[in-house]
């Protein structure tokens, strides 16, 4: 059914970052999302690790897609993703040990991230290697942005800091990111606990809907009033 | 998925089974290779981590040996065998450290407890826990210096009845909003000290010096 079409790179980027964003558009990966976004730094950590795995799994799945039949594709893709995550975990533990101590918790979580299997299934299994890698990268960036935004909101409301412990994740040179907005803030525990995550996520989803409807309305008005 | 005419062999059960089996074999082979390639390095890194924790509960001036070398096994109250790391100075045991485990609010709290040969606490550090962020995680030194309150204490100082959090009539502070976590830590430390007292005579016998250089 699909004729080979020129790859629409801009569309892949726009889908990954906004229109079909893993969280805001597809409502996938909510479990790891809510679990780690108590701080912006943790969000960034999970985001970076997921982006790496998504890009690599896009490449691998696109490479084997012509071999794999529709009937066994799901177990094969899961195998590919699980092996990839395990190897990334082992390699980071051995050679990037300090980073692994911070991110180590998140890496096994990536296997349970249905967004990765989702992209393998809906994009990488139908597209060549390069667009699949790009799709994985863009989806990963979109996911990272949401994670950091949600983490930042919860961290600011919950403990009035921003990017606490960022230097552990990114190295001492990034210590300037660590901000304490209100000294001696008593803390607002609800924001840090899971209910705060659900609340903040709800507002973000509503916000995206609002922006999208407004943009659609402007576009519709523009279309009717266009021939001037 | 693909409406292009597929070669007929692809729809056979044999092809599908072979494909899945082939991928599983390949995956297993890759994992074995990854494990072999990283195992030694990871073991080395973990030894470094352990040493870093040990140096926090055993002051450097107390020992002249490699803390990972003079070890003895100890069976803790839960029946688990843990390793006791011993600091030696001039051939005599000068300090000991061993892991203890508390039952926290959200699972195990693993701690490293350092004591001198008389059973006085040199230091306690949290190795791993899954307590509530913002509440129970004040047991980490990075978040709060509560854990330093144990330094210098021993069984009998405070007396046994006061080896508890303030809410239970003891000498240790709890955190506002979180009593279970500090209570678990206090209990675990106390149980560790009792265990040490029961086996002290065996634990503080210095190992025969085999090839350690003369002092």
**Per-residue pLDDT tens digits for B93-104:** 899 999 999 999
Q: Where are the beta strands (DSSP E) in chain B?
A: 71-75, 81-89, 92-104, 107-115, 121-128
Angle, helices A40-64 vs A114-122, to 10°: value is 30
Q: How many distinct structural domains can be found in chain A?
A: 1
pLDDT, greater one: B90 or B41: B41
In a domain, A107, yes or no: yes
* Residue A226 pLDDT grade (very low, low, confident, very high; cuts 50, 70, 90): low
3-class SS shares of chain A: helix, strand, coil, % to 5: 75, 0, 25
In a domain, A157, yes or no: yes
Query: What is the percent of chain B where pLDDT is above 70?
Result: 93
In a domain, A51, yes or no: yes
In a domain, A3, yes or no: no
For B41, nearest residue in chain A (alpha carbons): A94
In a domain, A1, yes or no: no
pLDDT, position B70 = 81
Substitution target from A60, A70, A94 for chain B, most B beta carbons within 10 A: A94
**Res. A191: pLDDT tops 60:** yes
pTM metric for this prediction: 0.76
* Residue A178 pLDDT grade (very low, low, confident, very high; cuts 50, 70, 90): confident
In a domain, A4, yes or no: no
The one-character DSSP state at A16 is I
Query: Which residues lie below 8 Å from residue A9, measured CB to CB, with a gap of 6+?
Result: A131, A134
For A66, nearest residue in chain B (alpha carbons): B2
Range of the domain at A129: 9-224
**Per-residue pLDDT tens digits for B170-185:** 899 988 778 899 999 9
* B56/chain A closest Cα distance in angstroms: 18
Q: What is the CA radius of gyration of chain A?
A: 20
d(CA B183, CA B121): 17
* Residue B112 pLDDT grade (very low, low, confident, very high; cuts 50, 70, 90): very high
0.90 surpassed by complex ipTM: no
Average pLDDT, chain B: 86
DSSP H helix total and E strand total for chain B: 2, 5
Q: Residue B60's CB: how many other CB atoms inside 10 A?
A: 9
**Per-residue pLDDT tens digits for A75-96:** 999 999 999 999 988 988 888 8
- What mean pLDDT is predicted for residues B135-164? 88
- Find the CB nearest B20 among A70, A75, A126: A75
d(CA A168, CA A147): 18
- What mean pLDDT is predicted for residues B133-160? 87
* Residue A101 pLDDT grade (very low, low, confident, very high; cuts 50, 70, 90): confident
**Per-residue pLDDT tens digits for B24-68:** 999 999 999 999 999 999 999 989 989 998 999 998 888 888 888
Please indicate whether, in this complex, the C-beta atoms of A1 and B15 are within 8 angstroms of each other. Answer: no
> For the stretch A76-101, what's the b/e string if a residue is b when 16 or more beta carbons lie within 10 angstroms of its beta carbon?
bbbbbbebbbbbbbbbbbbeebebbe
pLDDT, position B158 = 87
Question: With contacts defined as CB-CB under 8 Å, which chain B residues touch A79?
Answer: 23-24, 27
């Amino acid at each position: 059914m699909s004729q080979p079409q020129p790859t629409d790179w801009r569309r892949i980027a726009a889908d990954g970052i906004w229109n079909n964003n893993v969280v805001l558009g597809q409502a996938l990966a909510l479990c790891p999302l809510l679990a780690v976004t108590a701080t912006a730094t943790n969000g960034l950590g999970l985001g970076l690790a997921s982006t790496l795995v998504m890009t690599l799994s896009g490449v691998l799945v696109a490479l084997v897609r012509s071999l794999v039949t529709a009937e066994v594709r799901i177990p094969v893709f899961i195998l590919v993703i699980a092996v990839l995550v395990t190897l990334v975990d082992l390699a980071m533990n051995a050679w990037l040990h300090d980073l692994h101590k911070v991110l180590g918790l998140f890496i096994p979580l990536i296997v349970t991230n249905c967004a990765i299997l989702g992209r393998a299934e809906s994009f990488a299994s139908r597209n060549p290697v390069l667009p699949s890698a790009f799709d994985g990268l863009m989806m990963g960036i979109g996911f990272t942005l949401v994670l950091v935004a949600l983490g930042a909101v919860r961290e600011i409301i919950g403990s009035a800091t921003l990017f606490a412990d960022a230097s552990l994740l990114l190295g001492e040179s990034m210590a300037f990111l660590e901000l304490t907005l209100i000294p001696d803030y008593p803390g607002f525990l609800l924001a840090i606990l899971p209910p705060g995550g659900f609340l903040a996520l709800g507002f973000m989803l509503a916000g995206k809907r609002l922006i999208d409807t407004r943009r659609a309305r402007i576009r519709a008005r523009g279309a009717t009033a266009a021939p001037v | 998925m693909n409406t292009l005419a597929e070669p007929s062999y692809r729809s056979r059960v044999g092809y599908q089974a072979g494909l899945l089996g082939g991928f599983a074999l390949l995956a297993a082979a890759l994992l074995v290779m990854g494990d072999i390639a990283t195992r030694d390095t990871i073991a080395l890194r973990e030894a470094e981590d352990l040493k870093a924790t040990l140096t926090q509960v055993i002051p450097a001036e107390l020992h002249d040996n490699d803390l990972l070398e003079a070890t003895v096994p100890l069976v803790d109250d839960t029946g688990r065998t843990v390793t006791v790391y011993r600091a030696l100075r001039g051939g005599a045991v000068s300090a000991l450290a061993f892991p203890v485990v508390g039952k926290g609010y959200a699972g195990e709290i693993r701690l490293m407890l350092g004591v001198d040969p008389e059973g006085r606490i040199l230091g306690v550090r949290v190795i791993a826990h899954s307590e509530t962020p913002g509440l129970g995680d004040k047991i980490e030194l990075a978040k709060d210096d509560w854990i330093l309150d144990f330094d210098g204490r021993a069984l009998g100082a405070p007396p046994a009845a006061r080896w508890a959090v303030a809410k239970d009539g003891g000498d240790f502070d709890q955190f506002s909003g979180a009593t279970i976590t500090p209570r678990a830590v206090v209990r675990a430390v106390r149980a560790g000290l009792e265990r040490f007292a029961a086996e002290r005579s065996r634990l503080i016998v210095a190992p025969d010096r085999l090839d350690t250089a003369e002092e």
